[in-house]
Amino acid sequence: MINLEVPKKFAQLVDQANQAAAEFFRPHSRTYDHAEHTYPKELDMLATLLDGLAASGGGASAGGVRRDDNGSSKKKGGVVNGSNLQLLLGTIEMCWGDAGLLLSMPRQGLGNAAIASVANDEQLKRYEGKWAAMAITEPDCGSDSGAIRTTAVPDGDYYVLNGEKIFVTSGERADCVVVWATLDKSKGKAAIKSFVVDRDTPGFELVRLEHKLGIRASDTAHFRLDNARVHKDNLLGSPEINTEQGFAGVMQTFDNTRPLVAAMAVGVARAALEETRRLLKEAGVKIDYDRPANSQHAAAALFLQLEADWEAAYLLSLSAAWMADNRQPNSLEASMAKAKAGRTGTDVTLRAVELAGSVGYGEDSLLEKWARDSKILDIFEGTQQIQQLIVARRLLGKSSAELK
């Protein structure tokens, strides 16, 4: 029988993450939403504490999961609840507090997940303790990552990078940025590689910071690369262009990060559900789990529907992370979790605003903020539409050329 409870060994981590969310994230949520682009310096101490927990044997490295963390338990022939699941559970709790502040945490960038997923041992050591952002999207390339135009041209021991990157989360604050670029446009997706570019690299220019609908505590940057020289040792993965492997090398990162973005949506949606339940109770609306939804108050029936959707998103996210821990291919499940959780997050938070009426729309409650924050969680790391396309291809056995 499958045990769907939080593993006992993660109980302390979940409790500590919840305390951090309740005592810092939630109380400061409005402050940094209004003060967009202001770095929450209080996060430095919290990030140091999290680094200490990881170093003490917790298993999860900041922002990502090291490949070696998952292998030891498989040698014993057992099932493992490992670092991916641990990080996912912590992410849910933190985003129950505030998604924007989690994205502002030092060394918790999506670039860290990329480095942890595909870097070699020397790169892992060199970038240990660094804060890494991820730069994929371009002005002419959004959901179709394979259409990247930023180029990387070999020049001796270096690659020369040219292009533009937009919507880079934590781009200004990070120590380095994982940049996706193509070695040869004529060879399609197989030529796309990822490079770690240090922020002080000449030719790597910050153009501007974006103003956003939600997650305002997090900075979102626009960069220009103008003959930026990056050493060949900063290339993540193999420099060879393998047309048989195709896009799989760089896309491997998403198998780890998509469940985490799903977890962010799950956390925000849970916060909205809990607040809505409280408001409904104050209004005298009873939610009865022993009666059919259609025989209850309309608000209670809608709440039950939203809660069921949330439960499905939560379980899909757990499944995708657990599969990664157990070295099972999880590309399909990662996309399913991201698609379901992203849609559920926006549905739950917007319906929560509706159910709460004027209270939900005003700034006396965090419901309206959660509704704004949740939208990006259905967009970045692959939009809702892209996730559905990936799922369809996997289920039907179609290639990207066959099903567009």
Residues 93, 164, 275, 381: which is the catalytic one? 381
- Rounded to whole angstroms, how far apart are CA atoms 148 and 193? 10
- Rounded to whole angstroms, how far apart are CA atoms 33 and 213? 10
* CB proximity list for 258: less than 8 A, separation 6 or greater: 320, 334, 335, 337, 338, 381, 382, 387
- Rounded to whole angstroms, how far apart are CA atoms 173 and 315? 33
- Rounded to whole angstroms, how far apart are CA atoms 138 and 147? 9
Active site residue 381: yes
404: amino acid identity, one letter: K
- Rounded to whole angstroms, how far apart are CA atoms 99 and 259? 15
* CB proximity list for 92: less than 8 A, separation 6 or greater: 263, 264, 266, 267, 270, 314, 317
What are the phi and psi torsion angles at 238 (to 5°)?
-80, 140
Query: Is the distance from CB of 118 to CB of 63 less than 8 angstroms?
Result: no
- Rounded to whole angstroms, how far apart are CA atoms 38 and 31? 10
In angstroms, the first-to-last Cα distance of the chain is 39
DSSP letter at 223? E
> Which residues belong to the active site?
381
